[in-house]
Structure 1
Amino acid sequence: MDNIISIKNVSKMFRIYSDRPETMKEKIVKKKKRNYKEFYALRNVSFDVKKGSTVGFIGQNGCGKSTMLKIINRTMFPNEGEVTIKGKVSSLIELGAGFHPELTGRENIYTNATIFGLNKEEVEKRLPQIIEFSELGEFIDNPVRTYSSGMYARLAFSVAIHVDAEILLVDEILGVGDMNFQAKCAAKIYDLKMSGVTIILVTHDMATIDKLCDYAIWFDHGSIVTQGESRKVERNYLEFMAETRFANEINKDAYENKEDDEKNESLLAEEQIKHLGVHHGTGELVFTSIKLLNKDGEDKRTFCTGEKMTLVATYKCRDGYDKLFPNIGFEISKLGEAHIYGTNTAREGFKKIPLKQQGVIEIEIEKLQLLSGEYAIGIAVDSIDEKTSYDHYFDIAHFKMYSEIPDIGIYRMPHKFKIDNQEVSLDLGNKNKL
């Protein structure tokens, strides 16, 4: 398939000038010294977009996604590199650019469609469809200054998608209008995709990437981290974001705990571990740290369906620990929702488990059968009759799950498909996307 867009070694630099005015003396002393900083929004970026494909740009705010989109839209030009575009471009980047507040909705359709390259006859042919899609009805002949922000965006969106472009650029605008109109916009984008329009979209919504995109490009600090099949790139990006958030939480907790220790070194163990979350219990045993280890023994907060996970919790007991015969349990829930699974040692027949003054409890899950999503895990040590809690966390750690298979639900049940007594094997390389 031919490339409709080719980006070769593109860089875009902005000059950020100091806002502070200079005195005459400073100007004389500095002479030719520059009073600005160079900021590279894009640096040496290269990729190709095949005709008829749908490509998603992902990354954190300020990583260069929208700048790249504007360069493809020719509203911005690179300092270095080569941009080749073979086809008519329509953009949903800055909705309503070119609208005049004193003109009516109908008059703005003519002016805005002209910006997209349509002549008067072409606009008149599409006018009924544009008005119908915008759902403005009787308000179409009112000045747009009287429109609400939602009406304004709906009109602009409707114009942009009716210009029969070969390339459609979309920048975080699939949330225009009310819920019904948003669904209508998403359906229209999907129809354009099915009709062979090449689509490039910028979004933070991974569900949109998953449903619409064949290919994804991950930007970070103006460069491409990775690019390829959308589900794989999406997973790598979400893993990175989850691990970054986890690292930030650990650093924050360490800082807060250090401050607490400096203020009062005699704090009880129960008070020293507030960073583990909300918990309750008698305090005869308290958890002091928690880790979620992957198959390589690394403390992680991201796992794949079918991967091994080990919860490692350190604990500390008060005097009299030798008289405790604990009941150790854990529970997993979808974040903010109902429990998925829970059990404890008493229910599995272990009645007398010895404890130490300080020790480690490990709970090993050989194969996590959870599907993609965010989950919470809890841990508890109760009395053997389950009437008394020594320490109980319903939500001691959060973790994310990713699946190479686009199943639906929260749990992957082991199963097989057979057709005419012939077992159908799973082919991840050629799976159908939902």
Structure 2
Amino acid sequence: MSSSNNNIAISVRKISKEYQIYGKPIDRLKQSLSFGEKKYYREFNALNDISFDVKKGQTFGIVGQNGSGKSTLLQMLADTLTPTEGEVIVNGRVAALLELGSGFNPEYTGRENVYLNGSILGVSKEEMDIRFAEIEQFADIGDFIDQPVKTYSSGMYVRLAFAVAINVDADILIVDEALAVGDMFFQIKCYKKIDEFRNQGKTILLVTHDLGSVIKYCDNVLVLNQGNSLGIYPAKEAVDIYKKVVVNLHKGKEGIIETTSTSHKEWKDFYPLNAEMLNYGNDSAEIIDYGIFDDYKELTSAINKDVSCTIKMRVQFKETIENPIFAYTIKDLKGTEITGTNTMIENASSKEVKAGQIIEVSFEQQVTLQGGNYLLSFGCTGFQKGEFVVYHRLYDVIAFQVVSSKNTVGFFDPNSKVEITTK
């Protein structure tokens, strides 16, 4: 796990990881007794032939959908998992914030775990005595420092884990989605510390679904998809590629679309189905298709802030309807309605729509939402004999992300123009 190359912090050479998946517990016993003559398992390749170098002082990002192999790769870099093939070479002390539950003994108190982690990383008790006050202050969990970790909330766990990781004089910091658990003020404190870490010339590996943080912090980014490397790119380019991967539109070599799906005849096929979506109406019309298109007119589930996008819906009418109203609504993950509009508000009338007709509606606008995750809903409604009628509604049907490297307070960015003068 070490190397003499003075410029490289981490070198990964052709690593692969294969798991044996057993259908039933008894199959594992059968396999041990078969002496290799028969397979009672199926092979699952979590990673396939991955290679890259991270230079000292770089902030290196890794992005990919769930199941792409990110966590497996990080465990190898943290030396908690051995590759089936290949080699990982690390220069320097590594502090890793991996998934919740790793690194701490739940039966030990926070204080005991701080010293335990220090000893694992090669920091003496005398050194930890000096660092402990700063760790305790940063974690800010009060008297819980002397309570068993199993009594901690996820936020308290992350506070203490991050406090330890940044105070053990590590050369390389690995962060795997951990900061998403803390509250907003703790995240601000953590990112300020990460800036200090970068300014000290330390190396950071950042794995996150927050694409704004990828653009803001990362120099280069590895894009993973189903255990395979799609390449290493500058942050902005990597985010654009990842956005296409999410909706199965990534074009590989020679312009071929690399996708796990055989065909997509409708926009909605590009999006994961939300089992919790609300679907109702009087069946006079049906929303048959929908999607979000970026400024390149391509389907996406991630929109860059301050860039135009188009929200589209297609509605098929089963009855003739006078002046139907088409609408969309955006909510945050807590269910709060953030914004939305409809064709009546926008003074766009479709007049009479005949039974059997399909109407396509496009809402094009600039995105000023803060970076984060949101839910999109669609509706087709109207008035009949003065009464409001819902023909069809699909609530929370698309999950999407707004990508931003700068977030202000609240839901929207006021795009302030700031001028500071000395009088």
- TM exceeding 0.5: yes
**Aligned residue type for 1:72:** L
What residue number does 2:342 align with? Answer: 342
Percent identity between the aligned chains?
A: 30
Aligned equivalent of 1:356, options 354, 357, 360 = 354
Q: Distance in 2 between matches of 1:14 and 1:120?
A: 38
Equivalent in the alignment of 1:286: 285
| Whole-angstrom distance in 1 between the partners of 2:182 and 2:414 | 39
Amino acid paired to 1:166:
D
Distance 1:212 1:339 in 2: 29
Q: How many matched pairs?
A: 378
Counterpart in the other structure of 2:171: 166
Alignment-derived partner of residue 56 in structure 1: 61
What are the within-5 Å matches in structure 2 for residues 129-144 of structure 1?
Answer: 129-135=134-140, 142=146
Which residue of the partner structure matches residue 265 of structure 1? none
8 Å Cα contact 1:13-1:40 kept in structure 2: yes
Distance 1:179 1:27, change over 3 A: same
Tell me the equivalent position of 1:247. 269
Any conservation in 2 of the 1:370–1:412 contact (CA below 8 Å)?
Answer: no
Structure 2 counterparts to residues 370-381 of structure 1, below 5 A = 370-371=367-368, 374-381=375-382
* C-alpha contact (below 8 Å) 1:289/1:315 kept by paired residues: no
Q: Which residue identity lines up with residue 363 of structure 1 in the other structure? A: V
Question: Quick one: structure 1 residues 398 and 99, their matched pair in 2 at CA, closer, same or farther if it must change by over 3 Å?
Answer: closer
Partner of 2:9: 4
Give 1:368's aligned residue.
365
Report whether the alignment pairs 1:45 with 2:46: no
1:198 aligns with 2:173: no
> Which ranges in structure 1 are unaligned for 5 or more consecutive residues?
254-274, 418-434
Q: Given the two structures, how large is their TM-score scaled by the length of structure 2?
A: 0.68
Q: Is the 8 A contact 2:329 2:341 kept in 1?
A: yes
CA distance in 1, matches of 2:77, 2:346: 63
| Cα distance change on mapping 1:125 and 1:392 into 2, 3 Å | same
Relative distance call for 1:358 and 1:67 in structure 2 (3 A) is: closer
Of residues 172, 194, 202 in structure 2, which corresponds to 1:189? 194
Higher helix proportion: 1
CA distance in 1 between partners of 2:345 and 2:139 (Å): 61
Q: 2:226 aligns with which of 221, 225, 239?
A: 221
User: Equivalents in 2 of 1:291, 1:15: separation in Å?
Assistant: 40
* Counterpart-to-counterpart distance in 2, 1:293 and 1:205: 19
Query: 1:304-315 residue pairs with structure 2 within 5 A?
Result: 305-307=307-309, 310-315=312-317
SS of equivalent to 2:135: helix
Could you say if the C-alpha distance between residues 147 and 333 of structure 1 is closer, same or farther in structure 2, counting changes exceeding 3 Å? closer
- Partner SS state of residue 365, structure 2: coil
Larger Rg: 1
In structure 2, C-alpha distance between the alignment counterparts of 1:147 and 1:99, rounded to whole Å: 8
**TM-score, L = length of structure 1:** 0.67
- Residue 87 of structure 1 is matched in structure 2 by 92
The answer on whether the counterparts of 2:176 and 2:207 sit within 8 Å (CA) in structure 1 is yes
Q: 1:333 aligns with which of 329, 353, 362?
A: 329
Match of 1:72 among 72, 77, 84: 77
C-alpha RMSD over aligned residues: 4.8
Separation in structure 2 between the aligned mates of residue 368 and residue 231 of structure 1, nearest angstrom? 22
Task: State the distance in 2 between where 1:152 and 1:276 align.
Answer: 35
- The answer to whether 1:123 aligns with 2:128 is yes
Give yes or no for contact 2:285–2:380 (8 Å, CA) kept in 1.
no
Please list the CA deviations of residues 333-382 of structure 1 after superposition, one character each: whole Å capped at 9, or x if unmatched.
Answer: 3235154333339946x7x94543422323344x4323465433433344
Unaligned runs of 5+ in 2: 1-5, 249-260, 262-266, 419-423
Provide closer, same or farther for how the CA distance between residues 278 and 99 of structure 1 changes in structure 2, counting only shifts above 3 A.
Answer: closer
Q: Distance in 1 between matches of 2:392 and 2:232?
A: 40
Distance of aligned partners of 1:232 and 1:328 in 2 relative to their CA distance in 1, 3 Å threshold: farther
Which deviates more from structure 2 when the two are superposed, residues 121-130 or residues 174-183?
174-183
Cα 1:126–1:246, aligned 2, differ >3 Å: closer, same or farther? same
Query: 1:167: how far off?
Result: 0.5
Distance, in Å, in 2 between the alignment partners of 1:331 and 1:116 is 56
Distance 1:129 1:311, change over 3 A: closer
| Counterpart amino acid of residue 90 in structure 1 | A
Letter in 2 for 1:117: G
Alpha-carbon contact 2:212-2:405 (below 8 Å) kept? no
